[in-house]
């Protein structure tokens, strides 16, 4: 699969964006949502990741987010995150569009990262709207803003709209570029629509996922493998002067 992958990357000539989901961070030890080790098998999303849940029990929601923050902050980028950062630096990739709220793309060195579902390393004030960056989970939950109001995680919850500017940017990137879809179950809309949007506009779709997904049918190349494992031997090749 490696030669086929490299050939497609060559053919795209820099006109590629990545679309990533929880699966790209699975090899960094961050649990996915769906699947056999997914978070939703242990917790009920409607109890934790909705505005209603937060209004009802902010402390419980915050405890869960503090736990996930801890996991994200102690995790390290894996070869898949690193490969995308190398590709961007070498002009082979324009942007990473991610559904992940973790910061592993940035920590791997990616610069142009579009967060469709917000970020777990930020919190937002329900009163004044101030966004505060965090480097460790809050010691007291729920955290309170300087203005006296409660802070919430700056992530998109079920039932909430995606940030408009990010979604527009993602749509327009998928009109003009091929898409490398890594580790997403491709069932959460509107993000799941992006590969189809790319395909309809005459672009290629490449998928890396150990499981079959709705994207598999439309993919020009679908690699059934864990992202970290697939990209590990690719790192020195992508770094090579001679490539592409």
Among all residues, which ones are annotated catalytic? 117
Structure tokens at 69: 């923050």
Task: Return the residue of 142, 143, 183, 195 that touches ligand NAD, per CB under 6 A.
Answer: 183
| Residue 151 vs 162, nearer CB to Zn ion | 151
Contact pattern from residue 109 through residue 148 relative to ligand NAD, giving x for each residue in contact according to CB under 6 A and a dash for the rest: --------x-------------------------------
Which of 126, 188, 218, 221 contacts ligand NAD by CB under 6 A?
188
Task: Decide which of ligand NAD, Zn ion, none touches 22; Cβ closer than 5 to 8 Å per partner kind.
Answer: ligand NAD
- How far apart CA 128 and CA 148 sit, in angstroms, is 9
User: Of Zn ion, ligand NAD, none, which one does residue 58 interact with (CB within 5 to 8 Å by kind)?
Assistant: none
Judged by CB under 6 A, the stretch of 33-41, 59-67, 127-135, 170-178 that binds ligand NAD is 33-41
Site for Zn ion, rule CB under 5 A: 125, 127-128, 130, 145, 147, 149
**Chain mean position to CA 161:** 17
For residues 148 and 126, the answer to whether their CB atoms sit within 8 Å is no
Q: Which does 125 bind (CB under 5 to 8 A by kind): ligand NAD, Zn ion, none?
A: Zn ion
Nearer to Zn ion, 142 or 195 (CB): 142
What count of other Cβ atoms lies within 10 Å of the Cβ of residue 196?
Answer: 17
Alpha-carbon distance of 61 to 71, in angstroms, equals 16
Partner interacting with residue 109 (select from ligand NAD, Zn ion, none; CB below 5-8 Å by kind): none
Interaction residues for ligand NAD, span 207-236 (CB under 6 A): 208-211, 213, 226-228
Residue 163 binds to ligand NAD (criterion: CB under 6 A): no
The residue number with the shortest CB distance to ligand NAD is 23
Q: Does 203 bind ligand NAD (CB under 6 A)?
A: no
Q: Binding string to ligand NAD for residues 76 to 115, with x set by CB under 6 A, is what?
A: -----------------------xxxx-------------
For the chain, the three-class secondary structure string (H helix, E strand, C coil) is CHHHHHHHHHHHCCCEEEEECHHHHHCCCCCCCCCCCCHHHCCCHHHHCCHHHHHHCHHHHHHHHHHHHHHHHHCCCCHHHHHHHHHHHCCCCCEEEECCCCCHHHHHCCCCEEECCEEEEEEEECCCCCEEECCCCCCCCCCECCCCCEEEEEECCCCCCCCHHHHHHHHHHHHHCEEEEECCCCCCCCHHHHHHHHHHCCCCEEEECCCCCCCHHHCCEEECCCHHHHHCCHHHHHHCCCCC
147 binds, among ligand NAD, Zn ion, none (CB under 5 to 8 A by kind): Zn ion
Give least dist CB 202 to ligand NAD, A.
25
């Amino acid at each position: 699969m490696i030669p086929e992958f490299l050939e497609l990357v060559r053919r795209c000539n820099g006109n590629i964006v990545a679309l990533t989901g929880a699966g790209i961070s699975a090899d960094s030890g961050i649990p996915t949502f769906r699947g056999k080790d997914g978070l939703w098998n242990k917790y009920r999303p409607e109890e934790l990741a909705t505005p209603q849940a937060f209004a009802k029990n902010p402390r419980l929601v915050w405890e869960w987010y503090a736990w996930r923050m801890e996991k994200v902050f102690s995790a390290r980028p894996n070869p898949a995150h690193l490969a995308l950062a190398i590709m961007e630096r070498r002009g082979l990739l324009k942007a990473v569009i991610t559904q992940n709220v973790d910061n592993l793309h940035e920590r791997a060195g990616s610069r142009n990262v579009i967060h469709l579902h917000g970020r777990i390393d930020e919190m937002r004030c329900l009163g004044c709207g101030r966004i505060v960056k965090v480097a460790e989970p809050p010691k007291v939950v729920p955290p309170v803003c300087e203005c006296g109001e409660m802070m919430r995680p700056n992530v998109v919850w079920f039932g909430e709209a995606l940030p408009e500017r990010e979604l527009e940017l993602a749509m327009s990137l998928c009109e003009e570029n091929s898409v490398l879809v890594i580790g997403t179950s491709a069932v959460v809309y509107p993000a799941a629509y992006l590969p189809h949007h790319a395909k309809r506009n005459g672009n290629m779709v490449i998928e890396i996922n150990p499981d079959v997904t709705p994207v598999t049918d439309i993919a020009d190349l679908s690699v059934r493998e864990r992202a970290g494992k697939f990209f590990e031997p690719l790192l020195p090749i992508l770094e090579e002067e001679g490539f592409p």
